[in-house]
Structure 1
Amino acid sequence: MTYPFVKGHGTENDFVIVPADVDLTPERARALCDRRAGIGGDGVIRAARDEDGRWFMDYRNSDGSLSEMCGNGIRVFARYLREEEGATFPLEIATRSGIKTLTESGNGFTVDMGAPRVLGETKVAVGDRTWPATHIDVGNPHAVAFVDDLADAGRLLDPPQHDEALYPEGVNVEFVVRRGERHVAMRVHERGSGETRSCGTGACAVMVASALADGATRPAAYRVDVPGGTLTIEWTEDDRVLMTGPAVIVARGTTDL
């Protein structure tokens, strides 16, 4: 079986997109994401439809595990839908964490991520170092830790240690430093993918944690720098998180992976 694919990235968080008729098993997702023997990516999106005919982002991490949604991935999916399927905006996309509405914004898209849930304090650790962290859910779980230097967490080859009772299915962990007024930078270890160049939902969680720590009054907007670029996150007066960032298609082809 051969089938078409499209590859794209959002702030260098990269994804392979395949059609709905592809059986996206964990094994196939791992093969597609393999950076040496496959196409390479942090995850795979199957362009499916839900029961109402709405586009559905069927997303798997690079290790083949399912994820509720992906903030950078949904922008790349929106670019794919516009260029390959003629989608118009505003556009509703269904995910495992609900329906997200996207609008065009310059060379990228703005995603209404919905209301964040701030769920208390926790801890994360790498080796013998431990940091307090804030548990925030923006459709998937995050632990946000402020550090003195982004190098403090080391190479992040393995998932940071976390409360497995609190996060039985794993957690995305963000390490954050302040760069200026309403300006932060982050690194992230994504569950199921490892350390990546960017995480859209992670940037949203980081913004919320930063705004709470700063006592910022909503509406508030923050610049969040990631290794692969910059995202703008706004927390609105009516408790919505809006993420704006780029989405780029870099390749199209066919594969039998």
Structure 2
Amino acid sequence: MSTSAEFFFKYHGLGNDFIVLDRRQSGADIDAEFSRWLCDRRQGVGADGVLSLLPSDAGMARMVVHNADGSIAEMCGNGLRCAVKYLVDNSGEKPERVDVETGAGILSCAPGYGVDGVASVELSMGPARLVAANLPSGATGQPFVDAPVPGHSGLRGYAVNMGNPHLVLLDRPLEDAGRLGPDLERHPGFPERTNVEFVRVDKDGLTVVVWERGCGLTQACGTGACASAVAAVLAKRLPADAWLRVTLPGGDLHIRVPSDLSDVRLRGPVAFVFTGVVPDLPGR
């Protein structure tokens, strides 16, 4: 046990679970090895990722998202809701808006309150980009929209940047996620790897299973839900400027995609799970 104990805080958004470390005082982030060990569900605490909260001059904190494999994600919608709940519930205040600095920029968050503090959060997820360096469009300059996926006969997809890269596959069987996800995550068209969404379009929304870059199959993915809704709007399968239901294995999120893709909005629940003392990494 460390002589100076550090506490961790476990949260989840629709079953997508995170360890929150408040390092705003020290300003010291964690490394990939420590992230992998903390996320290990047998030998560590267990989580889909670690949210390191660091000092910020532009927001209440700077959130760094460490995936379970030690890689860093630019943005995570479920993780951001968890970070907002931690920050607000431990502030002694009930603000109407919180700004958090992320790898995708400064994002505005509106907490919704219940008997146990923040119960849900509406997030400004920023713009959906169709041309970005970490998408196939980075090389071609042209949006990858309803385009054939090279190397996968009969597969067509939408490449969307929600601060992080996504390959959205409309009308693909949800059960294909575990089979195709690992290969598509590392598709050469995505230089930083990609999240992959398998989407069923329903009359009143979407049902989605996400293979997350650096995590694998998870119960929910906020940026994946947003990218899926963007693809459905681009395909004219669902309307723009309306709140759309996106059902993931862990439950429902609601996404609003503006017609100009300028500021995608996400609404969803968040919950505290437990707290504890950060153990020492074996061998250190």
The normalised TM-score by structure 2 is 0.82
User: How has the CA–CA distance of structure 1 residues 92 and 179 changed in structure 2, closer, same or farther, with 3 Å as cutoff?
Assistant: same
d(CA) in 1 for partners of 2:150, 2:272: 36
Correspondent of 1:241 among 248, 264, 276: 264
Distance 2:83 2:170 in 1: 31
| Contact 1:112–1:242, Cα closer than 8 Å, also in 2 | yes
Aligned counterpart, 1:115: 127
Instruction: Tell me the SS of whatever aligns to 2:90.
Output: helix
Percent of aligned pairs with the same amino acid: 36
* Structure 1 residues not aligned, in runs of 5+: none
1:50 to 39, 47, 56: 56
Of the three residues 106, 110, 118, the one matched with 1:103 is 110
Task: Find 1:36's aligned residue among 39, 42, 45.
Answer: 42
Q: The residue matched to 1:117 in structure 2 has which SS?
A: coil
Equivalence for 1:145: 169
Are 1:5 and 2:27 an aligned pair? no
Q: Distance in 2 between matches of 1:31 and 1:49?
A: 24
Letter in 2 for 1:246: P
Against the structure 1 CA distance between its residues 125 and 33, is the aligned structure 2 distance closer, same or farther, given a 3 Å change threshold?
farther
SS at match of 2:73: coil
What is the CA–CA distance in structure 2 between the aligned matches of 1:218 and 1:68, rounded to whole Å? Answer: 25
Which residue in 2 is equivalent to 1:134?
158
Q: Quickly say closer, same or farther: Cα 1:84–1:99, change in 2 above 3 A.
A: same
Deviation at 1:59, TM superposition (A): 1.3
8 Å CA contact 1:219–1:237 kept in 2: the answer is: yes
Q: Is the 8 A contact 2:184 2:194 kept in 1?
A: no
Q: After superposition, give the CA deviation of every residue in 1:14-45 in whole Å (9 maximum; x if it has no partner).
A: 10001213641101101110001111111101
Distance in 1, matches of 2:128 and 2:29, equals 32
Q: Is the 8 A contact 1:204 1:243 kept in 2?
A: yes
Q: Distance in 1 between matches of 2:175 and 2:192?
A: 26
Query: 1 or 2 for the larger relative contact order (CA 8 Å, sep ≥6)?
Result: 1
Aligned-pair distance for 1:161?
A: 5.6
C-alpha RMSD of the superposition: 2.3
Alignment of 1:211-230 (within 5 A): 211-214=233-236, 216-230=238-252
* Other structure's SS at 1:170 match: coil
Q: Which amino acid in the other structure matches residue 110 of structure 1? A: E
Question: Structure 1 residue aligned with 2:91, among 55, 74, 85?
Answer: 85
Give CA deviations for 1:66-86 in whole Å, capped at 9, x if unaligned: 111111000010000111233
The answer (yes or no) to whether the contact 2:112–2:120 under 8 Å persists in 1 is yes
Q: 2:193 aligns with which of 170, 173, 194?
A: 170
Question: What stretches of structure 2 of length at least 5 have no aligned partner?
Answer: 114-118, 131-142
Q: How many pairs are equivalent?
A: 254
For residues 218 and 33 of structure 2, the distance between their equivalents in structure 1, rounded to whole angstroms, comes to 21
